[in-house]
Amino acid sequence: MLTLDRVTKTFRTGTFSGSTTTAVDRVSFSVDRGEVVTLLGESGSGKSTLGRMILGLTSVSGGSLTLNGEPVRPGKEYYRRVQGVFQDPFSCFNPVFKADRIFALVKDAYHPRVSAADWRARVEGAVRDVRLDPAQVLGKYPHQLSGGQLQRLLIARALLLDGLEILVADEITSMLDASTRIDVLNLLGDLRERGLGVLYITHDLSLGTYLAESTVVLRNGRIAERGATGKVFGNPLHPYTRHLLAAVPRLGVDWVDAEPVESCLFHGAGADGDLYEAEPDHFVACARLPECEGR
Amino acid sequence: MTLTVDDLRVHYRTLRGDVRALDGVSFTVADGEILGLVGESGCGKTTLGKSLIRMDGRMRHIGGTVTLDGDDVPVGDDRAMNAFRFHRISLVPQYSMSALNPTRRIGRMVRELLASRGVSVDTGELHRRLALVGLGPEVLERYPIELSGGMKQRTVMVISTLLDPSLLVADEVTSALDVSNQKAVAHALVGLRDRGLVTSMVFITHDLALTSHIADTVMVMYAGRLAEKAPAGVLTTAPRHPYTRRLLAALPEAGVRRSQGRLSGIEGSPPSLLSPPAGCRFRDRCPLADDRCAEQPPVVEVAPRHHVACWKA
Ligand SMILES: Nc1ncnc2c1ncn2[C@@H]1O[C@H](COP(=O)(O)OP(=O)(O)OP(=O)(O)O)[C@@H](O)[C@H]1O
Ligand SMILES: Nc1ncnc2c1ncn2[C@@H]1O[C@H](COP(=O)(O)OP(=O)(O)OP(=O)(O)O)[C@@H](O)[C@H]1O
Ligand code: SF4
Ligand SMILES: [Mg+2]
Ligand SMILES: [Mg+2]
């Protein structure tokens, strides 16, 4: 189980001014094996930063991260168990090498004794699992593949690690059409049944609920609401969550203007990262916390 | 402004042969029209967008013509295309997130870009356009690495539209955004059109529901060819092509849970574009396919402004 306890990230912005941005502010939740947790939130709310901290790609400014009770120590052992697929697929590939080099690197690092033929078969299996035709995508350079194809190759890479416990998936379906997206999500669902824990970062509310046992809604680096998916979506309490749900574009339904976040429902909740427990497994923060704190 | 694309064929040259990413695509975009372009990952949407502005070294213009307001657009001639780029046709690329120069602050990059084009833009106008997509002027002081994925995407969109091109090709500009920012960006684009700053637009996306809200016309591509094109309302309520129907059926209701029933995508996968089979390219996956479909179906106007390439439509 991956546990986040009041995890915080502060960036220094402006080289000379010494000002800082708190991108993630005292965020606590956990991802268990065999569980999908959806992380939702506005653009710039800290989702990718949180994912990067979990993957050891950026330092943690405060709070703690533990995997099965042990403090997270990024390194080969850790990456065997925790892997990520990133938001920007293009930046994950070295344009000089063929795209399938990412698979060779996994073999060299983690499966050096597997024979070339067996490895080839495993790679092809993983590529088919993400609904790609190995003959069409293997042996090509990154620029020869489409955005959705690159995104799916990265998912396939993560699938090649035996003993993977946690997958951080940052917007991995953002460039896929509805049909392909469902296939990829079903694949994640099957992996979950085999014990994988997934942190599914997304802005796609229509499918954010499809797999997730629990949902975390992030706003300005803080948790606005979290809990069982059915409760968060069925009975959204935080005005921001309601706002998000109302703004989803739907076919044949007017794209309504969601009302702005203003009402203060849970005054003070969230001040130190603690949330108000509205019902079992459903937590919510004060909607106007930053202003309240500022007073 | 009118864009006319006629039988455009663009291939990628590879060691194993030509990838026929665009294999005879024809359509028009009328003055003031927003054309939504959707289709399965890898069907050639980005290739189409790039063909209208800059073919990379491996793209080959095999045939077909493009005209803009009656002028031939020399799509196969990189140098001659300079006359069209940015002023007449501008592209917001799919990978806008990685398109920004990492060593420059955004503001400096914008100034350099404008200087290289020999134009200047009023700072107030720049700030106003950033605000339209929910960004404050402080992003100009930031380096790209200091912005989130969605912030970069919105920044590139503002930069690409600064010169008010006649035709804007926007490739997946909303794909990395949360719903409220999607809406802000979509409305900003429609606003640019309504104010006459951008005349017409090709809006590439994988999100049919979103397109249906902002596009006047939606065009569906399948494996390098046009499958169906119709007014947005018609396409989403009365689609005629089996692929469009399946794609619409794959759209989930918000809030569905897998435990309530497993959704399924369209069985099978699109054909290889290296040596696509003769006949209808959707044939392997089409529930209605029969012998006739071994022959390529022509694009037929089945109703005013409603074009379909299917023998059974
Ligand atoms: N390296 C950095 N230096 C300074 N600020 C940063 C850095 N990385 C991110 N930030 C800031 O932290 C905040 C959160 O960014 P993050 O990338 O985590 O957002 P996000 O929720 O993933 O957004 P999106 O949905 O747009 O991808 C943003 O305000 C961003 O500007
Ligand atoms: N430089 C290249 N060389 C060879 N094949 C290429 C090249 N670029 C793209 N392709 C292939 O051409 C086809 C169309 O690619 P394109 O990027 O236009 O798809 P797309 O519709 O934009 O997909 P997505 O929705 O995933 O972005 C794909 O099958 C892709 O693999
Ligand atoms: S032409 Fe035939 S195979 Fe193609 S979509 Fe129509 S019915 Fe299906
Ligand atoms: Mg992000
Ligand atoms: Mg594309």
| Domain, as residue range, for B120 | 3-253+263-282
Residues of A in contact with B268 (CB under 8 A): none
* Average confidence (pLDDT) over A11-36: 86
| Domain, as residue range, for A57 | 2-294
* Average confidence (pLDDT) over B115-144: 88
* Beta strand segments in B73-189, E: 89-92, 167-171
Task: Let me know if residue B116 belongs to a domain.
Answer: yes
Find the residue in B nearest to A205 (Cα). Answer: B254
Tens of pLDDT, residue by residue over B171-183, are 988 887 888 788 8
Q: Greater confidence, B165 or A13?
A: B165
The residue whose C-alpha atom lies closest to atom 24 belonging to ligand 1 is: A43
Cβ contacts from A onto B, under 8 A: 187
Question: What per-residue confidence (pLDDT) applies to B68?
Answer: 92
Question: What per-residue confidence (pLDDT) applies to B84?
Answer: 83
Tens of pLDDT, residue by residue over B155-168, are 888 888 888 889 99
Give the alpha-carbon dihedral of B45, B48, B52, B57, to 10 degrees: 110
Residues within 6 Å of ligand 2 by CB = A 143-149, 175; B 12, 14, 19, 21, 39, 41-47, 58, 94, 206, 273
The residue whose C-alpha atom lies closest to atom 6 belonging to ligand 1 is: B146
Question: What per-residue confidence (pLDDT) applies to B184?
Answer: 82
Nearest-ligand number for the alpha carbon of A146:
2
Question: What per-residue confidence (pLDDT) applies to A155?
Answer: 86
For residue A256 the two structure tokens come to 């309504």
CATH of the domain at B99: 3.40.50.300
* Average confidence (pLDDT) over B221-233: 96
Question: What per-residue confidence (pLDDT) applies to A288?
Answer: 63
* Average confidence (pLDDT) over A257-275: 60
What does the mean pLDDT of chain A come to? 85
Find the residue in A nearest to B56 (Cα). Answer: A143
Give me the number of domains chain A comprises.
Answer: 1
Task: Let me know if residue B300 belongs to a domain.
Answer: no
Q: What is the DSSP letter of B161?
A: H
Min Cα–Cα distance to chain B from A238, Å:
16
Confidence of residue A295 (pLDDT cuts 50, 70, 90): very low
Min Cα–Cα distance to chain B from A211, Å:
6
Task: Let me know if residue B305 belongs to a domain.
Answer: no
* Average confidence (pLDDT) over B238-260: 82
Tens of pLDDT, residue by residue over B41-55, are 889 999 999 999 877
B249 three-state secondary structure: helix
Host H or E run for residue B116:
helix B106-116
Task: Let me know if residue B298 belongs to a domain.
Answer: no
Min Cα–Cα distance to chain B from A230, Å:
8
Q: Do A179 and B250 touch (CB under 8 A)?
A: yes
Nearest to B264 among A13, A88, A182 (CB): A182
Nearest to A42 among B40, B175, B178 (CB): B178
Min Cα–Cα distance to chain B from A113, Å:
31
> A105 to each of A75, A147, A170, B83, B219, how far by Cα in Å?
15, 21, 21, 44, 40
* Average confidence (pLDDT) over B114-128: 86
Tens of pLDDT, residue by residue over A148-203, are 788 889 888 888 887 889 999 998 887 788 888 888 888 888 888 889 999 999 88
Q: ipTM beyond 0.95?
A: no
Confidence of residue B235 (pLDDT cuts 50, 70, 90): very high
Q: With a cut of 80, say whether residue B17 has pLDDT above it.
A: yes
Q: Do A252 and B236 touch (CB under 8 A)?
A: yes
Q: With a cut of 80, say whether residue B305 has pLDDT above it.
A: yes
Nearest to A244 among B179, B210, B274 (CB): B179
Q: pTM of this prediction? A: 0.86
Q: Confirm or reject: Cβ of B310 under 6 Å from ligand 3.
A: yes
Question: What per-residue confidence (pLDDT) applies to A190?
Answer: 85
Q: With a cut of 60, say whether residue A245 has pLDDT above it.
A: yes
Question: Residue A48 CA: which ligand 1 atom is closest?
Answer: 22
Nearest to B175 among A175, A183, A248 (CB): A175
- Most ligand 1 atoms within 8 A of CB, residue of A11, A20, A205 to mutate: A11
B169 three-state secondary structure: strand
Question: What per-residue confidence (pLDDT) applies to A142?
Answer: 85
Q: How far is the CA of A153 from the centre of ligand 3 (A)?
A: 30
Q: What is the phi/psi pair of residue A44, to 5°?
A: 90, 10
Task: Let me know if residue B258 belongs to a domain.
Answer: no
CATH of the domain at A120: 3.40.50.300
Residues of B in contact with A248 (CB under 8 A): 179, 254
* Average confidence (pLDDT) over B200-218: 92
Give me the number of domains chain B comprises.
Answer: 1
Question: Residue B287 CA: which ligand 3 atom is closest?
Answer: 8
